Structure 1
């Protein structure tokens, strides 16, 4: 494993005026699930502190864990496991196909293509498509699904090599990856050079405004290096030679932005409208984040009080969703096996492992009906509708869910 490196300046503009937002303490690495053979206390932790750049307003964490330590062998995240994500990416692919009128004469590249959940829709239409995915497990799953996939991390050097090999693209897709990139300007510049004349790039990124308003502090973890407003994103992409021409607000992942960009073009009405909204909110100002840490601390205390009260009344509590965000929530709130018995998850690759730090065992969802805990803490709250529907029988038998954010509450 490599050493985490503390940043000396903003990842986008280099400014050394980094304003503190929230310090979540030393936290286990998300998705580094523990094996039963791992000794207690051996889980790697790193500082998890969020800051805002005083120059370009990019919100970011202060350390960079080597990508191979986060996304290498054993990385368990497969997008196709979630029905909601499958539906989201199917709809996204259909929208891109229609908007950009793609056919067999075009080329599509997706960066961080995971198990090919989106690209397979282009492949099915006979459109030449290439996925770039550094995690061995998802990349192998994509190839098994018929999606050509290159095992690599994308950067400017790889962009130049792909272009030289004839893989310049009419459309570059980058969903939920820009936040993971240690050098986002090089990443954007590489995309700009990879595009054919008239080509476009489409990014999906976490929306800082939704994170702050929804107190979604658990979306802060070591894989997510940056958190974006349209204001900071336009500045970042501009440094890489890309211009935002359109933007959509999405509900996925608790609030995201889908940004369409190109080396040249005129921003549309949606861009102007969101810019104006962010200006009214002061999203590029430290004042926008003032009090966030205190609000999150109060939320933590309310959640712990709720769990303690339920346990004191004899409740048996489990959890659902061994997601990356769960690592942050469990660690920051100090939730462990003294309060929660296990974590159920739909991803069979996680069964038999344990959450890092607290070592809660990860089990199949069927365990909920077998054990019938009275309450289930919904760690994957961003997929609440999907999970609540899946667990209709557990709820019919009297089981209740605890939604932790933005205000802890129990629902039947």
Structure 2
């Protein structure tokens, strides 16, 4: 046997497999090194203990083209107790209300309907249906967040969605006219089982909506900080269609959204009633083809763009330090932790960050151990610069932080390129 053939065989056998089509994941999309889970905020007693880190090596399936992070970490470790509460973003709650109003009108939902949201968080979305007297059910794996939703009067089950739990929920509560899986479809390692769970929940003539960040925009706008262990998949519309077909759902329409730096909202139905796809579906697929995202080669080059962002941000922070300027952060999102850990930024360059979520106050960012305070800390210490970590909320946060101009502070946005406002 040829030695090279033997070496290649061993390499292929040890590669992780695509969770959609089981092809060995032989292609790298981007490798961000090792990082801790982005929502593992630490208390003071944990700062001197060993902290687990896992690879952020994102791969591309050479067969179905699904960009994905292998199962480096058990989802129970990420989602059983969660630090992200959707209602702390005013713009996100407003986005949810617009969605609810649009779906009620488009589908004619009323008191005899049922709306189910998977990954319903603290009820930020379902509350808008409840306000219109439409029955709802939330499915949420994080018990601490589900408790908040229940206190709002939103019926919620604490579980991960799979084919079995989907059928059980449908048997107990009925099958839904609308199933919303907004900004969760990227968070699923058991992609096929979850998709079959969606099909189990929805009525045979019902609708499923999926919101996900659009890989086309992630690449165009260099949004690499949205890569973290909670995100197992990164979708084009092409790969989203292929994934939904694995559970018996067909995409019939799509909308492009500004959320998360550029997202898509796909409308899917059971394959038996789906009918032809809309012109919008054909248009987005054509744009992806024009960018080369229907090929392996078209996904190349992202790693170089990532390196440029790292160089620019580190250069700014080092120069600010040389000049004796102070820099604080605003926000403690998962994306911020990817960015800070990949760039090797610690408390000497970023003194602290602030966040509206009281769960995070008095804790420390994973990996970097940068302290998290309440937003009032900015007015107390008056930093020279404020680094906005949830850049996707730029419009909302620039308005919220207008008061920092009182002492001459300037806002810094790191992505898609370094910008000082």
Say yes or no: TM over 0.5.
yes
Whether the aligned pair in 2 keeps the contact of 1:41 and 1:357 (CA below 8 Å) is no
CA displacement at 1:7 relative to structure 2? 7.2
Q: Select the residue among 94, 107, 115 that pairs with 2:114.
A: 107
- Aligned position for 1:388: 398
User: Partner of 2:334 in structure 1?
Assistant: 324
Hey, what's the Cα distance between the residues in 2 that align with 1:52 and 1:8?
11
Question: Which residue in the other structure is 1:43 paired with?
Answer: 51
Do 1:64 and 1:182's aligned partners in 2 also have CA atoms closer than 8 Å?
no
**Residue 175 (structure 2) pairs with residue 205 (structure 1):** no
Structure 1 stretch displaced more, 354-363 or 182-191? 182-191
C-alpha distance after superposition, 1:122-176 (max 9, x if no partner): 1112211100001112101111111000011111010111222242111100011
Deviation at 1:66, TM superposition (A): 1.2
1:302 aligns with 2:312: yes
**Which moved further from structure 2: 32-41 or 225-234?**
32-41
Query: Normalising by the residue count of structure 1, what TM-score does the alignment of the two structures yield?
Result: 0.96
Q: Which segment is superposed worse, 41-50 or 243-252?
A: 41-50
- From 21, 25, 41, the equivalent of 2:29 is 21
Aligned residues of 2:88 and 2:357 also touching (Cα < 8 A): yes
Match of 2:144 in 1: 137
For this pair of structures, how many residues does the alignment match? 405
**In structure 1, which of residues 255, 258, 283 is the aligned counterpart of residue 265 of structure 2?**
258
How far apart are the structure 2 equivalents of 1:313 and 1:139? 47
The answer to whether structure 1 residue 349 and structure 2 residue 359 are counterparts is yes
Name which of 77, 92, 98 aligns with 1:91.
Answer: 98
SS of corresponding position for 2:44: coil
Q: 1:253 Cα shift?
A: 1.1
Question: Which of these residues, 85, 104, 120, is aligned with residue 78 of structure 1?
Answer: 85
Return the alpha-carbon distance in structure 1 between the equivalents of residues 84 and 249 of structure 2: 29
Whole-Å separation in 2 of the counterparts to 1:18 and 1:232: 17
Whether 1:334 aligns to 2:341 is: no
Establish whether residue 220 from structure 1 lines up as the match of residue 220 from structure 2.
Answer: no
The answer to whether the aligner puts 1:54 opposite 2:62 as a matched pair is yes
1:284 paired with 2:294, answer yes
- Please tell me whether the aligned partners of residues 10 and 18 of structure 1 are also in contact (alpha carbons under 8 angstroms): no
Distance apart, 1:64 and its partner CA: 3.7
Normalised by the length of structure 2, the TM-score is 0.94
Q: What root-mean-square deviation, in Å, do the aligned CA atoms of Structure 1 and Structure 2 show?
A: 1.3
Residue 34 in structure 1 maps to residue 42 in structure 2? yes
Checking the alignment, whether the CA contact within 8 Å between 1:242 and 1:262 is kept in structure 2 is: yes
1:11 deviates by 1.1
User: Residue in 2 aligned with 1:244?
Assistant: 251
Deviation at 1:311, TM superposition (A): 1.2
Q: Structure 1 residue 400 and structure 2 residue 407: aligned? A: no
Match of 2:92, SS state, is helix
1:64 and 1:202 map into 2 onto residues whose CA distance is 28
The equivalent residue for 2:3 is none
- 1:323 to partner: Cα distance: 0.4
Verify: 1:161 aligned to 2:168, yes or no: yes
1:212-238 Cα offsets, whole Å, 9 max, x none, are 111111000000000000011111111
User: Any unmatched runs of 5+ in structure 1?
Assistant: 1-5
Task: Name the stretch that deviates more: 78-87 or 294-303.
Answer: 294-303
The answer (yes or no) to whether the contact 1:201–1:262 under 8 Å persists in 2 is: yes
SS in 2 for 1:272: helix
Deviations 1:158-202 (A, max 9, x none): 011122224211110001111111111221122112221210100
